[in-house]
Every structure is written in C-alpha cells, then in structure tokens.
Amino acid sequence: MALSDITLGANEVIVILSDSTLSIVSAGKALNFGTIQRVNQLTDRFRVSESVMFDINKAIPFMIISGQIFYKVNENDISFSEPYLP
C-alpha cells in the first residue's frame, strides 16, 4: 500500500519521526518532533514536509516502509509547528 492510497479522516495527518529543524530538544519522551508526510485534503493548519512537535503517546503507528514508522496523528495533538527555514 502506498502512502498516497491512504484516506485520512478529518483533522488527521501522517507523521514520521525526525529531528527539530531548529535543533530544539524536547524535555520529555511524550513529545517528539516529526515531519508531516500527508495531510487531510481539507486541512488548512498544516502542510506536507512541515516539522512539528506531537504527542507520540496519542499517535497511532500504522505502517512501516523501509524501517520507517508512519504515525497517524490528530491535528489537535500537535503542539508546535516549527517555522520554515529556507
């Protein structure tokens, strides 16, 4: 199954774990940085390739491709979006 074949519900995004683009380190283990891979087509809050901090305890791991875990995350569980640096 390809990532593009997945239908997302309202307020859902797909995220993979990544480092902070601003080199921020989260203090706890519940909040992790990730990069958005896919968004619901109706969202106006987030965009693909945006770096965000999300609550991994509320995320749903649902697919692994080449060892990379993809998480389904509700937009309300994203607590921080890093500014884009060109």
Element (H, E) at 83: none
- Cβ atoms of 40 and 11 within 8 Å: the answer is yes
pLDDT in tens, 61-84: 989 988 999 999 999 999 888 876
**Digitized pLDDT (tens) for each residue of the chain, 86 residues in all:** 677 778 898 899 999 998 777 676 666 667 888 999 999 888 889 999 999 999 999 999 989 988 999 999 999 999 888 876 65
Cβ neighbours, 10 Å, residue 71: 21
Predicted confidence at residue 46, as pLDDT, reads 92
